[in-house]
Amino acid sequence: IGVGLVGFGLFFVLFGMLLYFDSVLLAFGNILFLSGLVFIIGFRRTFTFFFQRPKLKGTSFFFGGVLIVLMRWPLLGMLLEAYGFITLFR
């Protein structure tokens, strides 16, 4: 279930970017991606991954970008998410 949710989440994010940053598709993709991540590695490990002290900057940018996308500012939100994603996984 988790891999399917992550796959659909990535599909909706890419499809939302192809359709000139459609905010509904991007928001749906973000929600599916995060819920799929929880299904794959578990709630506790997801929480501890995102909220480690050295990764708080990346986490705040990533979740801030998700929040901005949900508020229908897709371009700014995706830029914040991308910066947060790069900061989290470097």
Domain layout of the chain by residue ranges: 1-48, 52-89
Q: Residue 79 — pLDDT band, cuts 50, 70, 90?
A: very high
Percentage of residues of the chain with pLDDT beyond 70: 100
Q: Is the pLDDT of residue 90 over 90?
A: no
Closest to 62 in 3D by CA, of 49, 46, 38, 79:
79
Give the C-alpha separation, 57 to 80, whole Å.
11
| The two three-digit tokens of residue 79, written as one number | 């830029």
**Mean per-residue pLDDT of the chain:** 95
Q: Could you tell me if 54 and 19 are in contact, meaning their C-beta atoms sit under 8 angstroms apart?
A: no
The predicted model gives 50-74 an average pLDDT of 95
The predicted model gives 46-51 an average pLDDT of 94
Percentage of residues of the chain with pLDDT beyond 90: 98
- Residue count (the chain): 90
DSSP state of 21: -
pLDDT for position 33: 95
